[in-house]
Amino acid sequence: MDIEASFPLLDEILDEWRPTISADFDGYRNHCTRMLQFCFALGPCDPDQRQKSMIAAAFHDIGIWIDDTVDYIPPSIPPAQAYLATAGLNDWTEEVTLMISEHHKIRPYRDERFPLVEQFRKADLVDFSLGLVRFGLPGDFVAEVKRTFPNAGFHRGLAKRAAAWFLQHPLNPAPMMKW
């Protein structure tokens, strides 16, 4: 499996958010890049699916910084929808919204109209689990992707935010997770 050096569309979108993401920028960019490597390795993607995946990846966790919250899925969706509208890609809104809203679903996403939603969910889980969950991806490929695009504090930052959230919301410790 080949590792792609970069995803220009992802970088173009994220560059606009650099001031918002601030010190976490490299970690988030690398997380998105790792996810895309895994997403494209999990199944074939035509050019439109690749573009949808890059757009969804750029925005899927952006609510962490927009609203400074662990309950970040709801605030991650409007900027993605605005981007799609501005880019004239309104036909993709439902699918990209689902890719973002369902990416922390515990059970598989099963709407046959949108198989990319499940592929994207799996890719995020591969990275979120630090490669412990691989959905059949070779361990050496996952390890090489992780070496090529280092964590840069992304998971540590999530853990700190989650711990602070838990202290304030002990009855809702993981609001981004869906059954």
pLDDT tens per residue, range 121-174: 999 999 999 999 999 999 999 999 999 999 988 878 877 876 775 777 766 666
Residues linked to residue 73 through DSSP beta bridges, in sequence order:
none
DSSP string of 75-92? HHHHHHHHHHHHTT-GGG
Q: What is the structure's pLDDT at 173?
A: 62
Global pTM reads: 0.93
Average pLDDT for 12-21: 98
- Sign of the C-alpha dihedral computed for residues 8, 9, 14 and 16 taken in this order: positive
What digits encode the pLDDT tens for the residues 17-63?
A: 999 999 999 999 999 999 999 999 999 999 999 999 999 999 999 99
